[in-house]
Amino acid sequence: MADSPYLLAIALFEQNGKRAMPLGGRSLPQDVTQDEAGVPVQIACELALELLLRVWQRSDQGPLQREAGPGSLLMAELGMEHLPEDLPLLKATWLTTGDSAAFQRGLLAISSRCWSVSIAKFEPITFSVLEAS
């Protein structure tokens, strides 16, 4: 894992016929508490909430549709060195092609860990390890 891990929240959706990928992230402290699967749950939940609030605010501009089904809300832990070049290239490619499987493979290639985020009625947020499709 990189010396300065960064936790990134990613949403993949379509609005008014255009793909969108808002991002949110935060540097992880060295002493961050993680669950048994290695998820920094508290920070991940905060990032998911912040990102989903931004997405919800965008619904004023038109209806939203998840673009990648259950893989439309993701968390990834990656090194800061991937933020300036690798991540923008992945984002631009997905915005152009809409190939969610290729995006996930690319994200897995640059991240140390990656999860899809979901929730079921009356259940807590679930982080499932993302695997290459």
**pTM of this prediction?**
0.91
Cβ-Cβ contacts under 8 Å for 130 (sequence gap 6 or more) = 71, 74, 76, 104, 107, 108, 114, 115, 116
Q: Bigger pLDDT: 41 or 37? A: 41
How many angstroms separate the CA atoms of 114 and 104, rounded?
Answer: 9
State residue 3's pLDDT score: 65
How many angstroms separate the CA atoms of 70 and 55, rounded?
Answer: 16
Query: Is the pLDDT at 90 greater than 80, yes or no?
Result: yes
Percent over 90 (pLDDT), the chain: 84
Query: Is the pLDDT at 84 greater than 80, yes or no?
Result: yes
DSSP notation for 77-131 = EEEGGGTTTHHHHHHHHHHHH--HHHHHHHHHHHEEEEEEEE--TTS--EEEE--
Q: What is the mean pLDDT of residues 121-131?
A: 92
State residue 36's pLDDT score: 79
